[in-house]
Amino acid sequence: MKITVVNHPLIQHKLALLREADVSTNKFRLLTEELARLLAYEATRDLPLEPVEIDGWCGKVTVQKVKGKKLTVVPILRAGIGMLNGVLDLVPSAKISVVGLARNEETLQPEPYFEKLVGSLDDRLALIIDPMLATGGSLVATIDMLKRKGCTQIKAIVMVAAPEGVKLVNTAHPDVEIVAASLDSHLNEHGYIIPGLGDAGDKIFGTK
Ligand code: PRP
Ligand code: URA
């Protein structure tokens, strides 16, 4: 199974707070944003740099800047929106591509309802964000959409992943790195991650 679990103490501490049963909507939102920021820092660790000459305070100086086209962040509606501001704190000029998928509660299959992707995906890194990777259906469907539009560099940032979902994504898209705060135990009979966080979308939007 291929997944990068970031064991930074701050990430693990914030995840522990998120798992509390009586966490408020406000706290869940804030922690999700903070975790997204920390995970995005890890996920962007290998962005390529290029030397650029600038006018510095004492004359010309060669500095290192991120190479290539601005990356695109891809929140999966709804819950991915909860991670968006945290990621944008680190990459404020990123383009945003939005994908709407709702998991059918009975079949657990993702049902697409919205797609608005930025252009020139062929030479842009796409960072998919979604708090939960459960069966993996939503993530695989999103990667399929991006690849259909020519995207070749894709990473996914999730807060909690289930082994079942990681296996599905690894099999369908072995080139896509998954960065997570935790690889949890398993899915229950309703497709919820155990121990997980419960319904992340409902907790972020207060629709419980
Ligand atoms: C949740 C979650 C993921 C998906 C994960 O969204 O945010 O998108 O389920 O499940 P999967 O790996 O089995 O596909 P949901 O469809 O409940 O929609 P929401 O974000 O609008 O609550
Ligand atoms: N979606 C969630 O929000 N939580 C889960 O545990 C699984 C899918």
Specify the 3-state DSSP secondary structure of 165.
helix
Q: How many angstroms separate the first and last alpha carbons of the chain? A: 33
Residues having CB closer than 6 A to ligand 2 are 132, 134, 191-193, 196, 199-201
Residue whose Cα lies nearest atom 10 of ligand 1: it is 134
Ligand with the closest atom to the CA of 130: 1
Residue whose Cα lies nearest atom 9 of ligand 1: it is 103
137 lines ligand 1 (CB under 6 A): yes
User: What pLDDT is stored for residue 208 in this prediction?
Assistant: 76
pLDDT of 23 above 80:
yes
pLDDT digits (tens, 9 = 90+) for 83-119: 999 999 999 999 999 999 999 999 999 999 999 999 9
Q: How far is the CA of 66 from the centre of ligand 2 (A)?
A: 34
pLDDT digits (tens, 9 = 90+) for 28-86: 999 999 999 999 999 999 999 999 999 999 999 999 999 988 999 999 999 999 999 99
List the domains of the chain with CATH numbers. Answer: 4-44+70-205 (3.40.50.2020)
- What atom of ligand 1 comes closest to residue 201's alpha carbon? 22
- Is 200 annotated to bind a ligand? Reply is yes
Q: What is the dihedral of CA 120, 123, 129, 135, to 10 degrees?
A: 100
Q: What is the dihedral of CA 139, 142, 146, 147, to 10 degrees?
A: 60
Closest CA to 187 of 136, 129, 131: 136
Structure tokens given for 114: 């919205």
pTM of the predicted model, to two decimals? 0.97
Q: Determine the Cα–Cα distance for residues 10 and 59; give it in Å rounded to an integer.
A: 40
- Using a pLDDT cut of 70, give the percent of the chain over it: 100
